């Protein structure tokens, strides 16, 4: 059996997240149906991470096993002919037998986009979180920096997925502003359930003056989810980059 790694991009607006669902349409379920048709056998995909309903991916990696003879470089075109227009297979490579999209991942980056304006933009309805209240950009930048490093992130996660440890290493956490769009960019060796959305909520609270950036280390030490900011809506969140070693890593850089 061949082990194929896929690079994907998708708009998560109409999907109930990545994970296969019994009664809802998911990205993985849609992808498996398309792959099963072109490979002519049932296919199960392993994704690089769980994305929730309404969350998008600029870069996403999944792998699957197949005995199909379709060359890897022809798979994206064949697959896209079976996929809806809001999911795209961008590239594919034949990966080592032991490659696993989630277990082989070195680090991931997410971005969260906030539309900070008094007037809604209908074209950003499902692409950014509309937030009309004034925000202090400098306070948000200082707050974001407090999350960098190795910490226990219990205070910024939702209960929902079991994990052996809530300690993670955040390589960077930065705020950028371009016009009315405020973007949080965060990279870590792994993420807890709703961690990025809760971090963004805490950074927004700092921007509103509801908490000080300097208090964030103590809030993390407390491990108390009630003391940090709210979990922001899903539509502003994108998986943006994923890192791997070897041939899959080279594919994901393109």
Answer yes or no: are the C-beta atoms of 146 and 136 closer than 8 Å: no
Structure tokens at 196: 């990025």
Burial of residue 40, with CB atoms counted within 10 A of its CB: 0-12 exposed, 13-18 middle, 19 or more buried: exposed
Rounded to the nearest 10 degrees, how much is the dihedral formed by the CA atoms of 124, 127, 132, 136?
Answer: -130
203-236 burial, b at 16+ Cβ within 10 Å, e below that, comes to bbbbbbeebebeebeebbeeeebeebbebbbbbb
d(CA 132, CA 119): 7
Q: Which of 39, 104, 46, 29 is nearest to 66 (CA)?
A: 39
Spatial contact of 129 and 236, defined as CB atoms under 8 Å apart: yes
Comparing C-alpha atoms, which of 146, 163, 1 is closest to residue 67?
Answer: 1
Q: One of 11, 52, 86, 121 is an active-site residue; which one? A: 52
Q: Determine the Cα angle at 153 with ends 150 and 156, to 5°.
A: 140
Catalytic residue flag (residue 52): yes
Strand partners, 234: none
Query: Which residues are tagged catalytic?
Result: 52
């Amino acid at each position: 059996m061949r082990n194929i790694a896929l690079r994907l991009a998708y708009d998560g607006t109409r999907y109930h997240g990545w994970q296969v669902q019994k009664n809802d349409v998911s990205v993985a379920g849609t992808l498996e149906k398309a792959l099963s048709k072109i490979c002519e056998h049932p296919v199960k995909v392993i994704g690089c991470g769980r994305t929730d309903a309404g969350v998008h991916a600029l870069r996403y990696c999944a792998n699957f096993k197949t005995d199909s003879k379709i060359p890897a470089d022809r798979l994206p075109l064949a697959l896209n002919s079976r996929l809806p227009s809001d999911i795209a297979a961008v590239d594919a490579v034949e990966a080592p037998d032991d490659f696993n999209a989630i277990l082989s991942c070195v680090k991931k980056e997410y971005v969260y986009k906030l539309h900070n304006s008094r007037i809604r933009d209908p074209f950003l309805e499902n692409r950014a979180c509309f937030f009309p209240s004034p925000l202090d950009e400098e306070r948000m930048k200082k707050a974001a920096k407090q999350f960098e490093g190795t910490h226990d992130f219990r205070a910024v996660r939702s209960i929902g997925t079991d994990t052996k440890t809530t300690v993670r290493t955040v390589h960077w956490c930065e705020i950028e502003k371009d016009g009315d769009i405020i973007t949080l960019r965060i990279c870590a060796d792994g993420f807890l359930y709703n961690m990025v959305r809760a971090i963004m909520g805490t950074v927004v609270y700092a921007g509103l003056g509801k908490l000080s950036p300097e208090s964030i280390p103590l809030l993390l030490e407390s491990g108390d989810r009630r003391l940090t900011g709210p979990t922001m809506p899903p539509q502003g969140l994108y998986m943006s980059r994923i890192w791997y070693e070897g041939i899959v890593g080279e594919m994901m850089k393109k």
